[in-house]
Structure 1
Amino acid sequence: MYAAYSLCRANLRKKKVHNALIGLLILLSTVLLVTSVTVILNTTNLFTNMHTKTHGSHEMLILDGEVHDPKLVYEWWKEQEGVATSSLIPFRTLSGISRPGHEPTAGLLNLYLYMMDTTARPYEVDELLFAQGVESLVPEPGTVWLPSSIAYLYDISPGDTLEFSTGDSRLSIEVAAVVVDMPFGAPFPTSARIWMNHQDYVAHFQDIPGNDQYMMGLRFEDYSRSSTYWERWQQEMGTPYLGSKTSFQEMSSFYLIMNKMIGFIMVSLGVMMMFVALFTIGFTISDDILSNYKTIGVIKALGLTSRKLIGVYMMQYIMIAAVSVVPGFIASRFLSGVIVDSALSSLKTKTAGVTPGGGWPALTTALLLLALILLCVFYYANKARHVQPMQAIRYGMSETQHSMKTRRLTRAKGSGSPGMLGRAPLLAVIGFRNLLKNRKAAVLMLLLSMMMSAVLVLGFVLLYSISHIKETSPLWGYDSTDVVVQITNKSVFSRSAFDQQAASDPRIENTNWVGAVNGVVTADRPAGVEATYTEPMNFSIIVIDGSYDEIGYRNLSGRNPQNKDEISIGMNVAKQLNKEIGDIVEVYIEGHRHLLTVSGIYQSIANMSYSARILADTVRVNRPDYEDLDSGFINLRNDADLEQVVQDLSSGYGNSASVTTQQTLLYAVYKQAVASLILPMSIMGLLFTGVTVIIVYSLSRINIRKESKTYGIYKTLGLTSGKIRFSILLGVLVLSMIGAVIGALAGVYILPMILGSILSDYGIAKLPLILNWWGIIAFALVTALAAGLGSWASSRIVARTSPQILVVE
């Protein structure tokens, strides 16, 4: 046993640099894998725990009193066993927030606001958790509670003053506290609940035209049985629920999407890195056995058993793995905390953060990685059993390998043709022979270059596509117009006057007006199938007075509606209802039944493709005076006029409408996505770059040691150290460039296809990407440069060593 321990210690001491590099590779693999598992599991767990802690609603109902009596709805649900309800909370809607003394912020100016008439806490459903400020039962007069999703994103704190446009006046009010509001607290907020004092609510809204709307949340003891309650509702009321309803899936989707996407990428790349680590360890052990074949034969001849020889390698890598896995596990805790915090920051409160716990899954992942390393070591170290002492001492290899080598040399001498390498430049021949003689190392370098290039290119393509979302906005389910006008004060704004001004402005090509109504679609029962209850779908329907084609809305198949009998539906609506182009759907719009033909199917991430598009004429069949269109979409003839048009319209309608560019609105929504992606993708890119340099350095160093006598002969024949090093570098660069090209194609086409499978649940069938090939080529070149750096650094041993010593070795 002491002999095995002495050999293990000698191996550790003799190859300090190489063993350190292997340990670093194991550490990085541990960091990436454990981090990915922690991110995926904790994203869901943290959201679920916070939802449970606040008694979060599973469904949110918004009632305007025109379709259903809010009090009747509230009383009906209060009587249902197994369902907890929030109070019936009155609210009015406004558009946009401004901050006195600050530059206007597009994201704040275009928020859709629910101004809540706050009832006294605590709430049975959707309790508010205070993140900043003084906790109280209701907001004090002259103050509001602001949701954390808005406050954190736009750096608003208690004590700041906000302004809202209400009719002919502006409401200036102070932020008293920042609260976690689960149904409206997800990242990428486009709407928010502003919690007001009751006296302030009455004073500011009693004279404004319109009636109160109401909001109530439902929390089921068993959410899977929610359809049973809605079936009972339809039986007792004689009609489906026709109001607005937001499901738990819709409320939770944007809490989870970013970290699920990041976690999926990290798991995929972590597994890739783990296999690189295992392959590297296997290659190192195999090479060590071949390089020391004669020494192993002598040791076995002296009486050391094969089992003890295997134990030498097992002991060596147990030490390296233990030293690497433990700090990797600890580092992953901090890294996963940073990633989860960046995506779920809106859940942070003054008493609790969102730091994820490692738990047994993270520990199991680390132990599994350790077990795989030991199995890999055992498998490759087992080759030492086949070393025969007499053959090893006589040939320095097995007799079979010696015979094969002799036959190759005989064939080479008998061949009169120099072959392709014989006609190539000398330095190229040296570099390529270095790769051909070490094929396993060359294959590992090729695979590593492919993976690094794929990681870097994927990260670049994702970040570039999201940061330039204006170019692909129709493929995400948005418009592609130039200017967006959001009406903030309908009592003052005159649409007819605006249209006249737009028609007379030579810079404006067209203007379309868009609004939204609530829709309910009932599922068909196939003929011959027993009649069972299928819960209707409640979703938002976009209404346009104009042309969808002009504002850039696209479809995956079919076309946008062009007459009042047509409808275009989101892909998840089509999937759930099993509808295709040309099918008829029964739709209730504001309580009125319509039979509409499906003209198109589209994708949209904004509402997970649970939405539809119709013309304003469809609504006017039952409401001839329908004009509730609060967003204008303007296309310009010349993009150079964009800023001037926005400035002119803002100055003319500043008190009644918010005017901004569509690109600014998209950036306001997706800047959080870019911020969430930058950190993990940068970390993964740096890790793979570091791993590439490490492994190429290690492999090149092994190859140079094996060919040291050959390089000594080259130096005695007149080749300088620089030329020898350049020849080694040239071979590695060509090999890594081949891998970089293959990896870049995988990062552009294959990995996004896999990633798209996650987004399909969020309403995106085809991931919209922008391929900037100059950037893709640049990141592919980074792969080659990293491999070249590792190769050049490892070849310094050639320059430092004299030809005589190299030949003697």
Structure 2
Amino acid sequence: MNAVWTLCVANLREKKIQNGLTALLILLATLLLATSVNVILTTGNLFTAIHEKTNGSHQILKFTNKLHDPRMVNDWWSKQDGVATSKLLPFKNLTTVMYEGQEIPNLYLYMMNTPELPFGVDEPTFVKGDVRSNPATGTIWISTALAYAHGMSLGDHLGFTTGLEKFELEVSAIVIDVPYGAPFSNGIRIWMNTEDYQEKLSSMQVSDMYMMGLRFNDYSQNAYHWDRFENFLGTPFLESKDEFETISAFYLIINKVIAFAMSFLGVVMMSIALITIGFTISDAILSNYKTIGVLKSLGLSANKIILTYVSHYSFLAIISIIPGLLLSHFSSKLIVESSLSNLEMESTTSSIHGGMISLVVGVFVFLLVFLCVLIYSNKTRSIEPAQAIRYGMSEVENSKMTKRLGSSGVNKFGFASYPVAFVIGLRNLLKNRKGSLLIMVLATVTSAVLVFGFVLLNSIVSIEKTMPLWGYDSSDISVVVFNKAAFSRGDFEKEMLVDERVETIGWMGDELSGIFPSEGQTTGSKSVSLDIMDGNYDELGFATLKGNNPKNKNEIALGINVAKHLNKDIGDVTEVYIDGNKHTLTVTGIYQTIREMSNSARITVDVVKVYKPDYYATFLGYIMLKNTADSDDIAAELNAKYKNSVNALAKQTLIDSVFKEAVSILIVPMSIMGLMFVLVTFIIIYSTCRMNIRKESKTYGIYKSVGMTSIKIRQCVTSGVVVLSTIGALLGIVVGTSILPIVMESVLSSYGIVELPLLFNWGGILPMACISIVSAGFGSWLSSRIIAKTSPRILVVE
């Protein structure tokens, strides 16, 4: 055992750089794997913890169209066993909020008439401010989603307008509001005092609307309850219903993307680490073949020689895994807190931890390293002492080498006619095939990671070019009508269409729900959000995956998840209830949208006019311009002229309000992962080239003795690696632009995106791919310094 320990310590001392690089590789793999697992589990656990703490709803029912008596519905659900029901929450909608003299764009406000706490479901959880049963007169409670996104704090004043009246209210508390506090959502609840609600909103000529939350003791049984409820009603539930999947989606989607990327890259990096360890052990066995033979001839058993390698790399694994796990705690905490800050409070930050899961990941990584070392070091069993001492290799390998040296294979390829530099570089690659293959694979993976990361971030940053493929329109200006009493659509259109800058106008109707009957399914009827267009979907930039947008009164286009749920395709007929009226419509198209997770449908205004001939779509206007550059000016003009009735927003303003947060959350972890892979490329290529150069030291000594300079030899070696990594980079471009997007689509499909809208900017893709080439070339060049430092005589003698 003393001999084993002596040999293990000797390997650790003699190969400091190689051991350090191997340890760093294991550390980075552990960091990525542990971070990805922690992010996935912590995200779900943190959301679940807050959802439980607030007695969060599984479904939100909204009564906006007077199709059911909200009090009757609330009373029925409150009597059901296994279901918790909130109080009825009256509200009215506004679209304008001012903070520090500036309007916050793209917000849809639910101004709540706050009943006394507790609500029963979706209890507001106070993060800042005094806990009260309801807001004091002149004050409001706002959600963390609004406060954190815009830097609001207690005592700040927010301004609102009903179109006819403006008023300000003071922020007295910041609360976690789970159903309306997710990142990227624009629906925000403002909790008002009852007196303020009645006084400040009295000028609005609309009656109260209501919402209520349902929480099931066993969510999987909700279909059973809904079957009973709809039997009680005698019809499907005709108002709108938000499902738990929709409520939770935007809390989890970004972290799911980041965790997927990290876990995928962690697996790749771990595979590279194991391949590198295996290659290093194989190379060490070949380099020390004669020494191992001598040790065996002196009585050291094969098991003890294997134990030397196992001890060596087990020690490296342990000292690498521990800091990797510690760092993963901080990295996962950073990612989770940045994406779930809306759920953060002092009592929840402690839930962001690795715990037992990190330990399991660490043990898993250690076992992988242990098994890899055991498998590769087992090759020492076949070493025969006599052959090792005589040939420095097995007799079979010696015979093969002799045949190769004696053959005229070199002349067959005509290498004598090629430049010396080319032959030396190619010979270095061919003679070390395993190392060369590792370099090419590494360059491929690194380029693929960098290219895909760049493409993804660039596509989100430049999302205005692909908005239709995310389920949005491509209009230049959106106009929200918040005061219909003071607005004339006819006059507005007349003025707009005579403006030479305007191309066309379309209008979206008020928020309606489409109810698809169960048709014998066990999941109950399905409620989806309906887009009602008075205009041409195609002209305003709404895209479909297949088929066409509806144009007639008997047509409908379905979101991809609705189509899957109903098992419908182009040309199929489906029944849908709109405002309590049953329609039989033909499916003309299927589309994807990140909004509502593709749980939506598109119809034309003619469908509604079948049962409501005087229906007038004036909820949201879309304006297409001849020159997009005019959008900011026209939006400002509209806001100034129609300040009492509409809120106009340019396309870029809308995009920034929704996707800017996604970019800020994604850019840091994606950049770090890219840098990690560049570092790994450098580490492995440096280590591999250094081992190859040591094995070929005699050959390079001969080159120097016949007049080649150290610089020339180093250039030859590096040029071969650069050529090989260039091939890998080209393959990486293919993988990063073709294969990885498909894998990402499988992650996002449940969120309603089955075809990832990507922009391929080749002016950025090619430089990204070249980073791996530069890293490989620099690693190879740096590792070849040993050639310059050693004299030809010593090299030849060795």
TM range (shorter): over 0.9
Residue equivalent to 1:689: 678
Q: Aligned with 1:295: secondary structure? A: helix
Q: RMSD value over aligned CA atoms?
A: 1.5
Structure 1 counterpart of 2:708, one-letter code: L
Q: 2:441 aligns with which of 447, 459, 468?
A: 447
Q: Aligned with 2:564: secondary structure? A: helix
Q: 1:303 aligns with which of 293, 299, 308?
A: 299
Residue equivalent to 1:480: 474
Q: 1:431 aligns with which of 397, 407, 425?
A: 425
TM-score w.r.t. structure 2 length? 0.98
Shift of 1:418: 5.7
Residue equivalent to 2:25: 25
- The aligned runs of 1:248-287 (5 Å cut-off) are 248-287=244-283
- Answer yes or no: is the 8 Å Cα contact 1:110–1:486 preserved in 2: no
Shift of 1:393: 0.8
Shift of 1:663: 2.5
Please tell me whether residue 644 in structure 1 is matched to residue 633 in structure 2: yes
- The aligned runs of 1:312-327 (5 Å cut-off) are 312-327=308-323
How many Å separate the matches in 2 of 1:808 and 1:597?
Answer: 86
Unaligned runs of 5+ in 2: none
Shift of 1:339: 1.0
- Answer yes or no: is the 8 Å Cα contact 2:39–2:332 preserved in 1: yes
How many Å separate the matches in 2 of 1:494 and 1:390?
Answer: 101
Shift of 1:518: 2.5
- Answer yes or no: is the 8 Å Cα contact 1:58–1:218 preserved in 2: yes
How many Å separate the matches in 2 of 1:187 and 1:524?
Answer: 32
Residue equivalent to 2:89: 89
Shift of 1:50: 1.1
Cα 1:515–1:521, aligned 2, differ >3 Å: closer, same or farther? Answer: same
CA offset digits 1:215-274 (Å, max 9, x no partner): 110011111111111111122221111111101111011111111111111111111110
How many Å separate the matches in 2 of 1:35 and 1:747?
Answer: 22
Structure 1 counterpart of 2:715, one-letter code: F
Q: Aligned with 2:118: secondary structure? A: coil
Please tell me whether residue 468 in structure 1 is matched to residue 462 in structure 2: yes
Structure 2 counterpart of 1:619, one-letter code: V
How many Å separate the matches in 2 of 1:746 and 1:397?
Answer: 39
Structure 2 counterpart of 1:615, one-letter code: T
Equivalent pairs, count: 798
Q: Aligned with 2:374: secondary structure? A: helix
How many Å separate the matches in 2 of 1:67 and 1:746?
Answer: 53
Residue equivalent to 2:191: 195
Aligned-residue identity in percent: 50
Q: Aligned with 1:140: secondary structure? A: coil
Cα 1:778–1:319, aligned 2, differ >3 Å: closer, same or farther? Answer: same
Shift of 1:416: 8.2
Residue equivalent to 2:10: 10
Cα 1:543–1:416, aligned 2, differ >3 Å: closer, same or farther? Answer: closer
- The aligned runs of 1:261-410 (5 Å cut-off) are 261-353=257-349, 356-410=352-406
Shift of 1:803: 1.5
How many Å separate the matches in 1 of 2:24 and 2:442?
Answer: 16
- Answer yes or no: is the 8 Å Cα contact 1:347–1:353 preserved in 2: no
- Answer yes or no: is the 8 Å Cα contact 1:96–1:111 preserved in 2: yes
How many Å separate the matches in 1 of 2:34 and 2:22?
Answer: 18
- The aligned runs of 1:502-521 (5 Å cut-off) are 502-521=496-515
Q: 1:626 aligns with which of 595, 615, 629?
A: 615
Shift of 1:656: 2.4
- The aligned runs of 1:144-159 (5 Å cut-off) are 144-159=140-155
CA offset digits 1:451-474 (Å, max 9, x no partner): 111111111011000111111111
How many Å separate the matches in 2 of 1:267 and 1:4?
Answer: 37
Q: 1:135 aligns with which of 117, 124, 131?
A: 131
How many Å separate the matches in 2 of 1:177 and 1:622?
Answer: 45
Please tell me whether residue 655 in structure 1 is matched to residue 644 in structure 2: yes
Residue equivalent to 1:588: 577
Shift of 1:214: 0.6
Shift of 1:355: 5.2
Cα 1:516–1:581, aligned 2, differ >3 Å: closer, same or farther? Answer: farther
How many Å separate the matches in 2 of 1:60 and 1:545?
Answer: 28
How many Å separate the matches in 2 of 1:157 and 1:141?
Answer: 18
Residue equivalent to 1:72: 72
Moved more, 731-740 or 128-137: 128-137
Cα 1:532–1:750, aligned 2, differ >3 Å: closer, same or farther? Answer: closer
- Answer yes or no: is the 8 Å Cα contact 1:517–1:589 preserved in 2: no
Shift of 1:524: 6.3
Moved more, 272-281 or 613-622: 613-622
Structure 1 counterpart of 2:4, one-letter code: A
Structure 2 counterpart of 1:255, one-letter code: Y
Please tell me whether residue 704 in structure 1 is matched to residue 693 in structure 2: yes
Q: Aligned with 1:742: secondary structure? A: helix
Structure 2 counterpart of 1:510, one-letter code: T
Q: Aligned with 2:136: secondary structure? A: coil
How many Å separate the matches in 1 of 2:381 and 2:294?
Answer: 13
- The aligned runs of 1:138-217 (5 Å cut-off) are 138-217=134-213
Cα 1:422–1:121, aligned 2, differ >3 Å: closer, same or farther? Answer: farther
Moved more, 385-394 or 148-157: 148-157
How many Å separate the matches in 2 of 1:654 and 1:741?
Answer: 55
Cα 1:712–1:736, aligned 2, differ >3 Å: closer, same or farther? Answer: same
Residue equivalent to 1:528: none
Please tell me whether residue 794 in structure 1 is matched to residue 788 in structure 2: no
Q: Aligned with 1:608: secondary structure? A: helix
Structure 2 counterpart of 1:702, one-letter code: M
Q: Aligned with 2:407: secondary structure? A: helix
Unaligned runs of 5+ in 1: 526-530
Moved more, 335-344 or 132-141: 132-141
How many Å separate the matches in 2 of 1:638 and 1:115?
Answer: 37
Shift of 1:24: 0.5
Q: Structure 1 segments of 4 or more deviating over 4 A?
A: 531-534
Shift of 1:138: 1.2
Residue equivalent to 1:491: 485
- Answer yes or no: is the 8 Å Cα contact 1:434–1:728 preserved in 2: yes
CA offset digits 1:585-617 (Å, max 9, x no partner): 111111111111111111111111111111112
Cα 1:429–1:760, aligned 2, differ >3 Å: closer, same or farther? Answer: same
- Answer yes or no: is the 8 Å Cα contact 2:112–2:192 preserved in 1: yes
Moved more, 380-389 or 644-653: 644-653
Shift of 1:354: 6.8
- The aligned runs of 1:582-621 (5 Å cut-off) are 582-621=571-610
Shift of 1:206: 2.5
Residue equivalent to 1:761: 750
How many Å separate the matches in 1 of 2:689 and 2:62?
Answer: 66
How many Å separate the matches in 1 of 2:672 and 2:720?
Answer: 29
